[in-house]
Each structure stands twice: as structure tokens, then as C-alpha cells.
Amino acid sequence: MELDKKAIAADLVADPDLIHFDNAGASLMPRPVLDTQLAHLLLEAELGGYQAEAERMSAIEAVYDSIGSLINCHRDEVAVVENATVGWMMAFYAQPFEPGDRILTAEAEYASNYLAYLQLVKQRGVLVETIPSTADGEVDVEALRGMIDARVRLIAITHVPTNGGLVNPVEEIGAVAREHGIFYLVDACQSAGQIDLDVDKIQCDALSATGRKYLRGPRGSGFLYVRRSALAGLHPPVVDLFSATWTGPDSYELRADARRFENWENNYAAKLGLGAAVDYALALGMPAIEAEVTRLAAKLRERLAEIDSVTVHDIGRRRCGIVTFAVDGIDAGTVSDRLRQHRIHTSVSGPSSTLIDATRRGLPSLVRSSVHYFNRDDEIDRFVETLGSIVGNG
Ligand SMILES: Cc1ncc(COP(=O)(O)O)c(C=O)c1O
């Protein structure tokens, strides 16, 4: 199915003159996502929050079905949470780690995840090890095979790292994890909404994602998937009266479904907005979205190569919508600020957000220009022209 870019443009609330290439930071919500939230906020102001929730209960419940359709799972395997970090942490800190347990992860792992590993290295005596990368830059699946032993408790992989075009081979990694019965946690924060995800093909036990990035949902929204067969073995790191029932003075019972990783109070407007964003992506079709994002990013990389002082730093056999580059003699923050003066949005990816990968590759701070399917070819032309004029090589 081809994307109808005119209809997509008509749903943009933003000024069409603005070039938003910060979709891996926070994308632009389409009109239906905004309207869904505004309508619920209005209802809360008119009726009160509890009554508004009761009134919209079936729509709130439908959010779980929508996420299930997006990643090919059952609604009971989904927890809707505040962001990707909360989702990921819930699955990570629920692991019954013992001293000496090994965690295997990617070199381009996200800072927050790695900080959590380091905390448990300190507190529980686990070991964290990075799986070497191939010459193309992705996780080396053969090297992973060679690292497996009985002490590997967890394989945790960032699908699309924060700092470049890399797409890690999560399905091949999943086959290794499944073969050895090792818990497999995938950080899909930056892939959800730009890459068609199927948890059965990935064979992960848990997967986390955020709303505001490629899903074009609201800030402060995200979700966690936990495979049904893995649920019973995972006690949430925190419990409240939503995730568990107080059954006696000394006892409680956890919810049976993935909502054991949620808690009671929620921003229902954001939750409904997340559902609307997922529905919007599903209506367009994830394969069509993925194809258009890939095409636009490849074109942007190609055009950036025309500017002598610009070096694109993306790696990986397969590359996504995130395009990162450095400019000789001008730091990334200055380039991004100057682009903003021309109404072009990018962000900056510093070495500390993927420290191991950035150190290994000697990366400076990079300008991160992340495209989405609603971006246009003429925006790429204007981006490259403007950048050329900023760096004095146009
Ligand atoms: C790979 C990756 N994982 C996790 C996160 C955290 O997501 P959130 O801010 O929604 O918690 C980010 C945010 O940039 C990210 O790039």
C-alpha cells in the first residue's frame, strides 16, 4: 500500500514550512492524536477524571488491542506506562538475578539501560558484557553464540540505538536466546513506529517502546510487552493496589496479566492519545511507513555526502530513519542551533548516550537528523542547501 502523502500532510498540525527532522527525539502528533487527547481533557474538566474514565472505558481498553495489533501480541501481554524507560526498567528489575549472572548486551546500548546494568553489578554482583559488533557495526550474532553459557541470565538489546542509522538484527539474536532458553529483552524505543515489529518473529520475552518518537504519540506515554509464558516468573520491582490485590494481613496476589507492571494513577488523555497514534500508524500500514522512512533517510545520507565538510557516521547493514553527522570545525550543538534559526529541527547526540559505541568509534557529538514518512523530498533539498550555507560549502 502506497502512502497518501497529501492526506498525511493534511493531518499535520504543524506549520508546513517547518522542517521537523527530530522524529527520533519527539515527532509531530497528527491531528487525530491531538484531538483524542483534547477531547478527553475536556471531558475530565466537564465530568471529573473518574467519571470521564468510566465514560471512555471501552476506548481505554481498546488501546491494549491496538498495541497488540502493532506488535502481534495479545492484549493481556501489554502494560501501558509513562515512557520506554519505565517499561524497560520494569522488565529488567523483575529479573531474579543472582551474583555471577551474566547480562549480554550490545555495544551501542542506550545509556539508561547500561546504567541499570552497572547498578546491579554494584548491588547484586552480576556481570555485564558487550557482544562484539560486526564490521558493519551491528551485533555479531556468531560472537553472541560463542559467549553463551549457563550463567547468561539475560540478553538485552537496543533495536535502534539513539545515535545513528543502525538496526540491530533482533530476530537472529532472538533465535539464539530462544534456543538456549535465555530471557530476551528488546528496547524498541526508537524502532516502534518506524519499523514493523512482530514479537513472535523477534522471539523476545519483553519489549519496551515510547509514544512520542516514531509512533507520533504524546509525551509521557509508552508501553511494555511481556510474553504470557514469561509473566508468571516476573515479580514487578514495585507493587501497588493496581498491580496487586491485598488478600490478607500478610498476603497479596499479583495481577495475572502484564498490567502487573502498571500502577493505579494514569494520564488517561495520554493513554488514549497513544492508542490513537498506534491506530494512525496501523491505518497507514507499518510496511509502507518503514519503506518511506528508509527511502527518505537513504536520500538524505546521499545528499549529505555532497558537502565536503560533513561526515555521516551511520553504521549497519540495514539503516533506519536516523541520520547522524558531524561537521568539520563546527560543533554539533552550534550546527543544530543554526539550523533551528532556519526553522529546521534536529537534535544532538552526545557520546555519553551510547558511551561504549561512541568511545570505540571515537565519535564526537553528532547532529541527529531523523526523518519520518510525513517528511518530503523537497525538505531534504532545503535541509542540504541550508546546511551547505551554514557550513560554507553549499
Ligand atoms: C534506545 C533508547 N531507549 C530508551 C530511551 C528512553 O525512552 P523514554 O525517554 O521514552 O523513556 C531512549 C530515548 O531516547 C532511547 O533512545
* Contact assessment for residue 168 and residue 139, using Cβ atoms and an 8 Å cutoff: yes
What distance in angstroms lies between residue 86's CA and the mean position of ligand 1's atoms? 10
Residue 394, pLDDT above cutoff 80: no
Stronger pLDDT, 394 or 101, i.e. the higher one: 101
Q: What is the mean pLDDT of residues 175-180?
A: 98
**Ligand 1 binding pocket mutation candidate from 85, 89, 90, 354 (most atoms within 8 A of CB):** 85
Measured from the CB, is residue 187 less than 6 Å from ligand 1?
yes
Q: Which long-range contacts (CB under 8 A, 24 or more apart) does 301-304 make?
A: 301/165, 303/380, 303/381, 303/383, 303/384, 304/384, 304/387
Counting residues of the chain whose pLDDT is more than 70, the rounded percentage is: 99
Q: How much is the pLDDT for 210?
A: 98
pLDDT at 1 over 50: yes
Q: Using a 6 Å cutoff on CB, does residue 23 contact ligand 1?
A: no
pLDDT at 248 over 80: yes
In the prediction, which pLDDT does 163 show?
86
Write down the pTM of the prediction. Answer: 0.97
Mean pLDDT of 199-218: 98
Give the number of C-alpha atoms closer than 13 A to the C-alpha of residue 231, restricted to the C-beta side.
20
Q: Please tell me the distance between residue 122's alpha carbon and the centre of ligand 1 in angstroms.
A: 23
Q: Rounded to the nearest whole angstrom, what is the distance from the C-alpha of residue 394 to the centroid of ligand 1?
A: 34
3-state secondary structure of 278: helix
Distance 266 CA to ligand 1 centre (A): 20
144 is written with which cell numbers? Answer: 553472541
Q: Does 189 contact ligand 1 (Cβ within 6 A)? A: yes
The yes-or-no verdict on residue 392 having pLDDT over 90 is: no
Residue pair 67/55 in contact by the 8 Å Cβ criterion: no
For residue 98, the number of C-alpha atoms closer than 13 Å in the C-beta half-sphere is 4
pLDDT tens-digit map of 51-81: 999 999 999 999 999 999 999 999 999 999 9
On the question of pLDDT at 319 being above 60, the answer is: yes
Residue 2's pLDDT is 87
Mean pLDDT, rounded, for 312-325: 96
Instruction: Locate the ligand 1 atom nearest the alpha carbon of residue 159 and give its number.
Output: 1
DSSP 319: B
**C-alpha triplet 102, 106, 108: angle, nearest 5°:** 140
Is 292 near ligand 1, meaning CB less than 6 Å away?
Answer: no
Beta bridge partners of 96: none
Identify any residues that bridge with 187 across adjacent strands, giving them in sequence order: 158, 208
For residue 392, the CA-to-ligand 1 centroid distance in Å is 34
Mean pLDDT on 15-39:
97
Residue 189's pLDDT is: 98
Percent of the chain with pLDDT over 90: 98
Closest residue CA from atom 3 of ligand 1: 189
What is the phi-psi region of residue 257: left when phi exceeds 0, alpha when psi lies from -120 to 50, beta otherwise?
Answer: beta
Model confidence pLDDT, tens digit, residues 138-174: 999 999 999 999 999 999 999 999 988 999 999 999 9
